[in-house]
Amino acid sequence: MSRRGTAEKRTAKSDPIFCNRLVNMVVNRIMKDGKKSLAYQILYRAVKKIQQKTETNPLLVLRQAIRRVPPNIGVKTRRNKKGSTRKVPIEIGSKQGRALAIRWLLEASQKRPGRNMAFKLSSELVDAAKGSGGAIRKKEATHRMAEANRALAHFR
């Protein structure tokens, strides 16, 4: 029997204004070089812009966007015995899907033209909540690739 103690499960912290773990996860992905206060500023400005645009609860828009973006199935590169690589479709769980959704939303918002990150993020979140935007296109492309490689599913 092991003498070490059992691993403690960490709970994600929530942000100071909305007391929401999802907001904190997004802030941690926005953060660069440890500048968390700047990441909070960007997200809170984006939330304010969402409030002005849609006149609804911005947290609902954020949740809806993150709920719509994650793919059900993705592809993973596997190498066979002969050395060639294949893209094998795999199912994606809820935690991994949420992480992918946040990452894709931020990447799509960074690719938008302009300099104001808060405006770009708010526009991408509103578009994703409606079912359009760069993150939704990425999800559809992932689904198409998994569908094309469905014949390789037995290599899992």
Domains and CATH numbers, the chain: 21-155 (1.10.455.10)
For tokens 């969402």, the residue is 50
CB neighbours of residue 133 within 10 Å:
24
Q: What is the pLDDT of residue 90?
A: 84
CB of 122 closer than 8 Å to CB of 102: no
- Condensed to tens digits (0 to 9), the pLDDT of residues 42-96 reads 999 999 999 999 999 999 999 999 999 999 888 888 777 877 777 788 889 999 9
pTM reported for the whole predicted model: 0.85
CA–CA separation, 124 and 117 (whole Å): 10
* C-alpha distances out from residue 16 to 5, 44, 75, 105, 110, Å: 32, 11, 37, 22, 25
Helices (H) and strands (E) in the chain, counts: 6, 2
Long-range contacts (CB closer than 8 Å, 24 or more residues apart) made by 23-26: 23/59, 23/62, 25/98, 25/102, 26/62, 26/102, 26/106
Asked if pLDDT for residue 38 goes beyond 90, the answer is yes
Select the more confidently predicted residue: 155 or 113: 113
* C-alpha distances out from residue 105 to 12, 21, 33, 55, Å: 20, 17, 20, 21
